[in-house]
Amino acid sequence: MTYMAQRVSNFGTTIFFEMTDLANRHQAVNLGQGFPNFPGPDFLKQAAIEAIQDDVNQYAPGSGRPRLREAIAHKMARFYGLPVDPDSEVTVTHGATEAIFATILGLVNPGDEVIIFEPYYDSYVPAVQIAGGVPRFYTLRPPNWAIDRKELTALFSDKTKLILINTPHNPTGKVYSEDELSLIADLCQTHNVIAVTDEVYEHIIFDGAKHVCMATLPGMSTRTVTISSAGKTFSMTGWKVGWTIASPELTQALFRVHQFMVYCGAAPLQEGVATALQAPHTYYTDLAAMYESNRDFLANALLKAGLTPIMPKGTYFIMADIGQLGFPDDVTFCRHLTAEVGVAAIPPSAFYHNPADGATLARFAFCKTRETLEEAARRLVKLKHSAASRKLTMSN
Ligand code: PMP
Ligand code: GLN
């Protein structure tokens, strides 16, 4: 007899717990789980400290502190020209993770189909399953991760309720182009489907690429739930301040879940983020420039180690092809890399419904100090040698 409910019994443990634990046990440089190992900006910390000292310490309104909702609406107008009503179209959530759950639980009925691009962020599928929805997968393939019109069109049916898009995309670093988003927008309108766009890496974008907000495309503002959070933009993943932007009707649906799941998020942190979002343009461009330089440094280190990096256009992750090294799969490779080379990475098979599709790849995070990346680069040099001696032991 097991006490665990059937709805969670096949979930397993998230790969992020598993790899961070392995990295800690081997004192490996952790390029696995994506969290910055440098401090976030002082102006953000200071604003939260002041809010605590000013006794902003009781429950926030369920939809979030008014100053934060206004700052979010203002930011959407400033960066994307999207008009947003802070009272009826914004909900402040406990990170983007809660936003994803509340949106899916608030909109998906049992039997509804949800289109998911894979590799996917690992909370999407459990959220759809808990709602009783049926995931339908579109597999993005390296090195371009491009979308084929015919293949995507074939996934839409009368049962499709929702399509989940993540741009810039974790783990591939793909930034969906305006053409790709327009294709999705057309399909959503033809089939009466809602687009849920996870844009948590919206400000981490390289090589002059442009982040396009799905909600700004013609006909999409009333059928899009835009999700973002402060964690990546302000290098404070532990704060868990996220939000949704959606029409009043869609907002009400997700709010019904949000109110009973968390009621509200942490009030003083919301005040901090309200101040932070007003940072000048240079804060955002400096962030992207810093990450672009980290990307180039790590890509070079991976190349020298015998891996083939697939250059990301956004996010703080880089995928690399591990095919040449002779490992049976990505999990064996990442365990070997962590234990024998002292660098942790994430095996991307965790982000595919068919793990074999991720078996020749590994994901590395570059949201780390330059010293950490340099130490990883020094260790990665050992990879070729350790992989060769492993092969030798296996064949004996
Ligand atoms: N979506 C994606 C694509 C992510 O990479 C993350 C990172 N954890 C999240 C959502 C969750 O964001 P948060 O920490 O704000 O819950
Ligand atoms: N978003 C981060 C990643 O993809 C961490 C997520 C988590 O730990 N849940 O690595």
Measured in angstroms, how far is the CA atom of residue 200 from the centroid of ligand 1? Answer: 6
The answer to whether residues 251 and 372 belong to one domain is no
pLDDT at 75: 98
In which band, very low, low, confident or very high, does the pLDDT at 396 lie, cut at 50, 70 and 90?
Answer: low
Going by CA atoms, what residue is nearest to atom 8 of ligand 2?
16
The answer to whether residues 246 and 291 belong to one domain is no
Q: What is the CATH number of the domain that holds 67?
A: 3.40.640.10
The answer to whether residues 252 and 335 belong to one domain is no
Does the CB atom of residue 16 touch ligand 2 within 6 A?
yes
The answer to whether residues 272 and 337 belong to one domain is no
pLDDT at 367: 98
> Does a structural domain hold residue 175?
yes
Helices 370-380 and 281-304, interaxial angle, to 10°? Answer: 10
In which band, very low, low, confident or very high, does the pLDDT at 12 lie, cut at 50, 70 and 90?
Answer: confident
The pTM score is: 0.96
The answer to whether residues 30 and 50 belong to one domain is no
How many other CB atoms are there within 10 angstroms of residue 31's CB atom? 30
Q: What is the CATH number of the domain that holds 300?
A: 3.90.1150.10
Does the CB atom of residue 166 touch ligand 2 within 6 A?
no
Euclidean distance between CA atoms 39 and 77, whole angstroms = 28
The answer to whether residues 289 and 363 belong to one domain is yes
> Does a structural domain hold residue 1?
no
Q: Which ligand is nearest to the CA of 230?
A: 1
**Range in 276-285, 366-375, 382-391 with the lowest mean pLDDT:** 382-391
Residue 392 pLDDT > 70, yes or no?
A: no
Residue-by-residue DSSP string for 108-176: PPTT-EEEEEES--TTHHHHHHHTT-EEEEEE--TTTT---HHHHHTT--TTEEEEEEESSPTTT----
Domain boundaries, position 382: 6-40+282-395
303-316 average pLDDT score: 96
Which residue is it, tokens 């200071």? Answer: 46
For 262, half-sphere exposure in the C-beta direction (CA atoms, 13 angstrom radius) is: 25
- Paired with 114 in beta bridges are 135, 162
Q: Is 196 helix (H, G, I), strand (E, B) or coil?
A: strand
Torsion from C-alpha of 198, 202, 208, 213, nearest 10 degrees: 60
Which of 279, 299, 316 is at the close of a domain? 279
The answer to whether residues 206 and 325 belong to one domain is no
